[in-house]
């Protein structure tokens, strides 16, 4: 049985790691909560050995704020958060906690970048809900038309790869419209259609407006984003959330975040392909072994 099938996702953040939860919630936290989150991300081992009062002092917040932070990112409290932090530290390679530095050699950079890709895939096991994948597959296969929401340049590349794969299932997707034509295309979307929007940050204005309009017109909206509480999730009926990447002043936003997005879409495609295989008559099987 697959890892996805055996994991419980009633609350993905409680089942996932502490550091993953912090990174995915960080953009939407208050200033005080961000201080706590950044301190833990930068000092995971030290944070594990601090009590709630000591951690609050390091972050210049009250102990109550630390408790609020713990629940804000999906845990039952400070103790539950530290339990997951301990698992993170014991199970992760030290390089996973390091960003690219100015003095790194080519070999070190290669290791860190590839580790980043591996980490994104591994963490996405805890952030992507298999039930949401199932709902997305069912919605797309039962849709009248599949539309792509407006997308940034990087996300457009991901959408085009997915579009080509969908042709194998007989599903033709409508290309994302240019931003200035989004409202015109949205007016043609109806009940029974599905709209898929991909945005790493989840804040792309044209995509949000497009999906909101389509949702009001009765379409099923699906998002693929890297942040659990991104604005795009508010206009989505089905939410697929990958693990947020790490970045640095040198590296910037990693291209490797697209690897996690492609892996999720590949999983979605596999679910749909298997569903189609199970429901279609197995003509080849009825004919027996081919003659030699």
Domains, the chain, in order of start with CATH, read 12-92 (1.10.10.10), 130-279 (3.40.50.10490)
Where b means 16+ CB within 10 Å and e means fewer, 220-244 reads bbbbbbbbbebbbbebbbbbbbbbb
Residue with tokens 């379409």: 219
Structure confidence by residue, pLDDT tens digits, 200-241: 888 889 999 999 999 999 999 999 998 888 899 999 999 999
Show the tokens assigned to 109: 């950079």
d(CA 223, CA 238): 7
Task: Report the share of the chain in percent with pLDDT over 70.
Answer: 84
pTM of the model: 0.75
Lowest mean pLDDT among 15-24, 94-103, 190-199: 94-103
Residue with tokens 């698992």: 87
DSSP single-letter state for residue 28? G
Q: How confident is the model at residue 7 (pLDDT cuts 50, 70, 90)?
A: very low
Is the pLDDT at 3 greater than 80? The verdict is: no
Residue with tokens 């392909």: 273
Structure confidence by residue, pLDDT tens digits, 148-189: 999 988 888 999 999 999 999 999 999 999 888 899 999 999
């Amino acid at each position: 049985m697959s890892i996805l099938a055996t994991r419980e996702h009633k609350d993905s953040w409680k089942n996932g790691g502490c550091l993953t939860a912090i990174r995915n919630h960080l953009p939407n936290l208050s200033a005080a909560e961000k201080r706590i989150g950044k301190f833990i991300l930068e000092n995971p081992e030290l944070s594990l050995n601090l009590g709630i009062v000591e951690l609050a002092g390091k972050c210049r917040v009250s102990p109550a704020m630390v408790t609020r932070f713990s629940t804000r990112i999906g845990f039952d409290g400070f103790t539950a958060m530290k339990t997951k932090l301990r698992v993170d530290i014991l199970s992760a390679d030290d390089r996973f906690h390091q960003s690219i530095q100015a003095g790194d050699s080519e070999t070190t950079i290669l290791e860190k970048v590839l580790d980043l890709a591996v980490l994104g895939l591994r963490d996405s096991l805890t952030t992507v809900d298999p039930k949401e994948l199932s709902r997305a597959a069912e919605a797309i296969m039962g849709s009248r038309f599949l539309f792509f929401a407006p997308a940034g340049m990087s996300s457009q590349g991901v959408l085009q790869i997915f579009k080509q794969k969908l042709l194998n299932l007989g599903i033709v997707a409508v290309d994302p419209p240019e931003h200035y034509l989004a409202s015109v295309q949205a007016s043609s979307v109806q009940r029974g259609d599905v709209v898929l929007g991909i945005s790493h940050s989840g804040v792309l204005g044209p995509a949000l407006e497009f999906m909101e309009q389509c949702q009001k017109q009765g379409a099923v909206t699906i998002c693929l984003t890297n942040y659990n509480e991104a604005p795009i999730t508010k206009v989505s009926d089905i939410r697929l959330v990958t693990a947020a990447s790490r970045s640095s002043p040198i590296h910037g936003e990693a291209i490797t975040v697209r690897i996690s997005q492609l892996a999720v879409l590949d999983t979605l495609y596999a679910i749909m392909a298997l569903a189609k295989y199970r429901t279609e008559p197995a003509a080849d099987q009825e004919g027996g072994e081919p003659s030699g």
